[in-house]
Structure 1
């Protein structure tokens, strides 16, 4: 199934799920794996998606599909459209740059499930187009809320299972602290394995990965509004050394904190 609209394109595929060619799309590209397992290759690393997980690629993010085992959804969204919605929500005139992370949330799953169901019921092309015209806006708002990036220093945690929510709240309140898995587990009534499995199942990330990414998101304010050294920024947000900070920053944004600072100063 392929549905096209002025603001983007929606594709659902259950065949031809093997390796594809390298791509360099000029749109934001949301890849959703409702079930099964998917692997994508980027320059320097691979990303995996499991049941219900998604990732959002920025325009011209070079990538290659290695495999999907069951089904894939792809939504391509025009940069001007995303920028317009972001400006309407926050007033920012800067095009959002999303972090390259696995993302899982009930709202995303609900959007795809509802869209699939309605398009299957739509009697005419006009009806499908009208549905998509309105649902694109809903999807853009969900992505800007749930996928971290340069558009916000917040990362919404509503909608997750209560135990995971408690831990997320604690991590957000004190992300600079030296958190360990043992300390996180103490906030729950679960064992280490149970907690780690539940956290990954709910969010698409391990607890420590979530924390490191959140620290990077918080560091953006310091890179924008201070002239503190990269080392000082790294330590301020909770990294133990600058190399770890560089590694996480480069993995999710494809560039170093220094280059990021230069790029936003030139905007």
Structure 2
């Protein structure tokens, strides 16, 4: 493929940098985890559950056997395929999980991951003629990326969303997020969120999405799903009671969001983790 530059392939995965290539409109599934990062412009994907648009500096993770297709791309993307066994071996050393990780099918944004992508690209561009240096560098870089995404990307292993770095980077956003976390069952309005950030609701909505990649309400709903995961794992509460305890307006809304994120119902998730 002349439009695709294969930078490295090793036992852990494959790193690709794609620019100016034909559209890939066919449905596909892969037996690996796919980390896709938008370097510039938008990238549109479709899954069998929803349609997703990646904006600048946003990423998404597709799980093994997730059916998806790329609909459109403005400029370029950075893609890494990570072997399933590699990711799950690291996850089991970091977390008390005994099942294969499922990442949420949702766009995400993280300053540490953006810094990592830029660092790797800079090194590869400078050292592209030194194959041995690249091999050693990227061997360790795959491990770094695996740890970063397990720590920051939303998945079935997630117990919290750690955004402590925003305490210094963006105190307004950090203060609002802390308030949402502390009272996530509350039926928050945009006005209430904006008041904590000391912004108008229109400024706040735009600013929040620019910083975190999703709307404030979407972030809150995903956080509620994360809190529900622990209840599904450790309690005998019904799915209905868990949905209500986590602040969802109905069990239908909860079930639909959970399935859109993970491709399974809360009940199927409970069965998977309790095996």
TM-score normalized with structure 1 length? 0.96
| Structure 1 residue 163 displacement after superposition | 1.3
Corresponding residue for 1:193? 202
Distance 1:137 1:172 in 2: 30
1:30 is matched with 35
Corresponding position of 2:191: 182
1:91-144 per-position Cα deviation (integer Å, ceiling 9, x unaligned) = 433321111111101111111111011011113211111010111111111101
Of 13, 24, 42 in structure 1, the residue corresponding to residue 47 of structure 2 is 42
The 5 A counterparts of 1:81-96 are: 81-96=86-101
Tell me the CA shift for residue 19 of structure 1: 3.6
Corresponding residue number in structure 2 for 1:238: 247
Given the alignment of the two structures, is residue 67 of structure 1 paired with residue 75 of structure 2, yes or no?
Answer: no
**1:36–1:70: 8 Å Cα contact kept in structure 2?**
yes
1:52 paired residue number: 57
CA distance in 2, matches of 1:243, 1:93: 28
Residue pair 2:62, 2:105 contacting (<8 A) in 1 also:
yes
Partner of 1:156: 162
Q: How many residues align?
A: 266
Contact 2:42 2:74 in 1 (8 A): yes
In 2, the alpha carbon distance for the partners of 1:150 and 1:237 equals 16
CA drift at 1:248: 0.9
RMSD: 1.3
The corresponding residue for 2:25 is 20
Structure-2 change in CA distance of 1:17 and 1:110 (3 Å): farther
Give 5+ residue unaligned stretches, structure 1: none
User: Deviating runs (4+, > 3 A) in structure 1?
Assistant: none
Q: How does 1:243-262 map to 2 (within 5 A)?
A: 243-262=252-271
Q: Give the corresponding residue for 1:139.
A: 145
The answer for the alignment partner of 2:230 in structure 1 is 221
Give the 3-state SS of the residue equivalent to 2:147 in structure 1: helix
- Tell me, yes or no, if structure 1 residue 79 matches structure 2 residue 88: no
